[in-house]
Amino acid sequence: MKILELNKINKLYFGYEEISRALSITLPSARVSANRYVNQGLLVKLKRNIYILKEKWNVLEREDKFALANLVQVPSYISLMTALDYYEITTQMQREFIESVAVKRTIQKEVDSTVFNFTKIGADLYSGFKKDKDFFIATPEKAFLDALYLTSLGRYNFDIDSIDFGKINRNEIRKLGKRFPAKTQKLLNKNGHFRKT
């Protein structure tokens, strides 16, 4: 079976060029083959010209999907409850729902039963993230503030009662919080955990 040749591509994901080389076919034929293999359930399409073998997709770790989320919408970073769950700061668990923050647009994309959710924030607040392994993720404090910010705008439903405040740096939250709009700061100040003593 010709698709077995795609196993020789030594990358997690690939595009038409790699398919063309692996199968010794033209680029237009590679596009047709990619679509056919997706329809047959042999390839998973992440976005235009980015595919992954279904058998590899089925065994991906959560962190691998975080790296793919960064790729589905560029630029973006993992944040909100997904990041807080990753850091074990919330009791809410998310497995096949991956939340990211982005600067281009708010969009949700379902890829083979995994939902990638991207929420747009202003470029002035697009910071406070780091590279962890192969993906970009908000710091615990920034993930918390991103959630609080979007809640203050009525764009997110943040279960603040699920947060273990002993696992986040309150001084860092207060410091970072000064960069957010008044609405967010007001919500932050209402929370007893962040009142100055």
Q: Hey, where are the domains in the chain?
A: 2-57, 62-194
Q: Does domain 2-57 have CATH number 1.10.10?
A: yes
Which contacts of 128-132 are long-range, i.e. CB under 8 A and separated by 24 or more positions? 128/176, 129/77, 129/78, 129/79
d(CA 157, CA 147): 8
**pTM for the model:** 0.92
Chain segment 68-125, per-residue pLDDT in tens: 999 999 999 999 999 999 999 999 887 899 999 999 999 999 999 999 999 999 999 9
The tally of CA atoms less than 13 A away on the side-chain side of residue 83 is 30
Residue 45 has phi, psi (to 5 degrees) of: -95, 120
Q: What mean pLDDT is predicted for residues 2-22?
A: 92
- Sign, CA dihedral 81-184-138-99, equals positive
Residue 116 has phi, psi (to 5 degrees) of: -105, 115
Residue 15 has phi, psi (to 5 degrees) of: -125, -165
